[in-house]
A and B are shown apart, each in its own frame.
Chain A
Amino acid sequence: MKAISKWVVYLLLAILVITQIYPLFWLVLYSLKTNDQILGGSFFSMPTTPQWANYKAAYTSGHYLQYLGNSVLVTCVTLLCVIVFSSMVAYAISRFKWKYGPVVTLIFLMGMMIPMSATLLPLMVIFKNIHILDTRWALILPYIAFSTPISVFILSGFMRGIPAEIEESAFMDGASVYRIFRSIILPVSVPPIMTVIILTFITIWNEYIMAATFISSEKLKTLPFGIYTFVSQYNVNYGAIGAFLILGALPVLLVYFILSERITKGMVAGAVKG
C-alpha cells in the first residue's frame, strides 16, 4: 500500500517535471528554426536545419553583451538596495513600538496593489524634474520602489515569527538595535531574503515598459530591449527573438540554480534557529 502510493506520487511529480521543463526545450528548438517553420510548424516539430544565424543575430544585432552588462548592473544595485532597505523597514514594523507603525505598514501594503502602468506618466514628469531621465537611476529607483512592498511584506511576516528571547538577552547585554539587527536578525532571515532576491530578480530582469519609457540612450539599454530589436512594423524575426530569449534567460537560470541550493541550506538553518 505504502509502496504504491509512493509510486503514484513519483509519477505525479514526474509528469509535473515534464510539463514545467518542456518550455525550455521548446524554446531551444524555437530558437533554431526559421520564421516559416516557427509560424507554420506544429508543437513538436524539429528544426530542419539548425539556424545558428539566429544566435549570431541575437548576439550582434541584439547587442547582447552590452545589454547584459547594463541589466546586471541595474539588477545588482536594485537587489542590494531592496534587501537592505526592505529588511530594515520590515524589522522596524515588526519589532519597534511606535505610533505610526500601523500606518507605515498599511502604506507599504498598498504599494503591492499599484499597477506599474498607472504610474508611467506621473513618473515621467517626476524624473524630468529631478533630471534623471535617461540615466540608470531612472530604472533603479522605480525598481526599488516597486519591489520593496512585496519584500517588506514577506520579510516582516518572517521576522514576526522570530522568537524574542535572543534579542532580549542581547539587549540586556547592552547591544544596540543596529547590532542586533546586523548580527542576529539578518543572518536568521537569509531564507526569506533569498525568496525576495528571486522574486525581485525575475520581475526586473524582464521589465520592459518602464525601461523603454525612461531610457533612450543605446549605452544604457537593458536585455528586454534586445528582444524588441527584432520586432519591426510589418516584420518580426521570431527565430532571433527565440535565440535572444535563450541568451537572456541563461544568466537567470544560472543564478537561480546556484541560489536554489543556498535557499534550502538557508531554510534549514532558519528552521533550526526558528
Chain B
Amino acid sequence: MNVLKVPARTIAVFVLPCLLIYIGLVFVPIIVSVYDSTLNWDGINTAKHIGIDNFKTMFAHDANFWPAVRHTLMYAVFSMLEIPICLFVAALMNRYVKKANTLVSIYFVPVILSTVIIGQLWKTVYNPAEMGGMLNGILNSIGLDSWTRSWLTEPKIAMYCLYVVSLWQYFGYHLLIQFTGVQNIPQEVYEAAKIDGAEGFKSDWYITYPMAVPIFKISIVLAFIGSLQSFDLVWVMTGGGPAHATDTIATLMYTSSFSSNQYGYGSAIATFLVVMCLVVTVIINAVFKKVEAKYS
C-alpha cells in the first residue's frame, strides 16, 4: 500500500464534509442513546437517572433478552454460512455461463423487492394447509402428513423458518458481491495455471477461492452486521412472537422503546447491540488479517 503525504488542509477537504454529516447524524444520536441508557424514561416525561440498572435488568432479569441474543447470533451464523455457497455458485457461473451477469441480476430480484412483500409471500408458503399453505400442501400430497405443522407458530421451529427466508432473500445479494470478486481475478492467472495443469475445480480451489478472500470478507462482514440488525422481516412475519419466540435484539429494542414505553431500557439494548457488533467486527478483521497474510 502506498501512502501519500498530503497537507492537512487537503485531508480536511477530502474527509470533513462527509465526516461532519456522519458524526452529526449517526454518531451524536448514538452517544445520546448511550446516555439515555442510564435513564428510567418513557421518552416523554421527566427522566430519572438510574445508573446501570437498565443493564442489570437486561443481563439478569429480562427473560426475553438472552434468547433474543441467541436468535440474533444464530441469524448471523446462518447468514455467514451461506457465503461460501454463494462463492461456489459464483465460481461455477463464471466458468459455465456465458452471459452470467443477466443471471446474477435475476438472482438479485428478491433483494430489490420490499420486505413487506417477501414476508407476505413466505407466509403463504408456511401457512397451515387449510389456509392454502404451500409447504404443508406439498407434504400432504406426498404422504408426509405427519410432517405438516404450523411452521411460524411453533416456538421451537419458527425462528428457523425465518432464517430460511432470510437466506433465500439475501442469496442474490451475496452472490452479486462474490461474482464481482470472481470476475475481478485477471484471466492471465488462470491461463498460467492451465499451463501448470490446474483446470476446472482444481483451478477454483487454488486460484479463485484464495484470490476472492478480500471480497469474501466484505460479504462476511455485511452478512454479520445485516443479520444483527434483522428487524423488518421478523416484524412482518411474526412480530417477534409467539410470546417472544422469534425476537431478535432489534425487535426487542423496538418493542421496549416504543411499545412498552421504556425508552431508557430500549437504549440500553441498542448500546449492547452496538458494542457487540464492534467486538465481533474486530474479531472478524483479525481472523481475516491472518488468512490474507497466509495467501499473499
Check A157/B93 contact, CB under 8 A, given A27-B113, A167-B4, A260-B105. no
A88 to B18, CA, bound (A): 9
Query: Which residues of A (185-207) have their CB < 8 Å from a CB of B?
Result: 191-192, 195, 198, 202, 206
What chain A residues lie within 8 Å of B209 (beta carbons)? none
Query: Which residues of B (114-157) have their CB < 8 Å from a CB of A?
Result: 114-118, 120-121, 124-125, 131-134, 137
What chain A residues lie within 8 Å of B18 (beta carbons)? 85-86, 88-89, 148, 152
Query: Which residues of A (91-124) have their CB < 8 Å from a CB of B?
Result: 91-98, 104, 107-115, 117-119, 121-123
Q: How large is the interface on A (under 10, 10 to 19, 20 to 34, 35 or more residues)?
A: 35 or more
Check A256/B26 contact, CB under 8 A, given A86-B18, A267-B184. no
* Cross-chain contact B21 with A113 (CB below 8 angstroms): no
Check A20/B104 contact, CB under 8 A, given A117-B253, A118-B267, A177-B6. no
* Cross-chain contact A126 with B28 (CB below 8 angstroms): yes
Instruction: Say which residue of B6, B112, B133 sits within 8 Å of A252 (CB atoms).
Output: B112
What chain B residues lie within 8 Å of A114 (beta carbons)? 26, 30, 274
Query: Which residues of B (34-78) have their CB < 8 Å from a CB of A?
Result: 36, 43
The A interface is mostly helix, strand or loop, or mixed, namely helix
* Cross-chain contact A45 with B132 (CB below 8 angstroms): yes
* Cross-chain contact A119 with B33 (CB below 8 angstroms): yes
Task: Quote the shortest CB–CB distance from B229 to chain A (angstroms).
Answer: 5
Task: Quote the shortest CB–CB distance from A256 to chain B (angstroms).
Answer: 6
Task: Quote the shortest CB–CB distance from A146 to chain B (angstroms).
Answer: 6
What chain B residues lie within 8 Å of A21 (beta carbons)? 106, 109
Instruction: Say which residue of A40, A43, A91 sits within 8 Å of B125 (CB atoms).
Output: A43
A216 lies within 8 A of chain B by Cβ: no
* Cross-chain contact A23 with B4 (CB below 8 angstroms): no
* Cross-chain contact A17 with B106 (CB below 8 angstroms): yes
B250 lies within 8 A of chain A by Cβ: yes
What chain B residues lie within 8 Å of A146 (beta carbons)? 25-26
Check A89/B15 contact, CB under 8 A, given A20-B109, A107-B27, A117-B254. yes
The B interface is mostly helix, strand or loop, or mixed, namely helix
* Cross-chain contact B6 with A96 (CB below 8 angstroms): yes
* Cross-chain contact A115 with B229 (CB below 8 angstroms): yes
Check A248/B274 contact, CB under 8 A, given A40-B131, A118-B267, A150-B222. no
What chain A residues lie within 8 Å of B105 (beta carbons)? 256-257, 260
* Cross-chain contact A206 with B28 (CB below 8 angstroms): no
| 7 nearest CB pairs, A to B | A42-B132, A113-B277, A164-B2, A122-B29, A118-B270, A85-B18, A43-B134
Q: Write the residues of chain B forming the contact surface with A, with a CB cutoff of 8 angstroms.
A: 1-6, 8, 10-11, 13-15, 17-19, 21-30, 32-33, 36, 43, 89, 92-93, 96-97, 101-118, 120-121, 124-125, 131-134, 137, 168, 171-172, 176-177, 180, 183-186, 214, 218, 221-222, 225, 228-229, 231, 250, 253-254, 257, 263, 266-267, 270, 273-274, 277-278, 281
Q: List 13 A-B contacts (CB under 8 A).
A: A10-B96, A40-B132, A43-B133, A112-B277, A113-B273, A113-B281, A114-B26, A115-B273, A148-B22, A195-B180, A227-B114, A249-B114, A271-B186
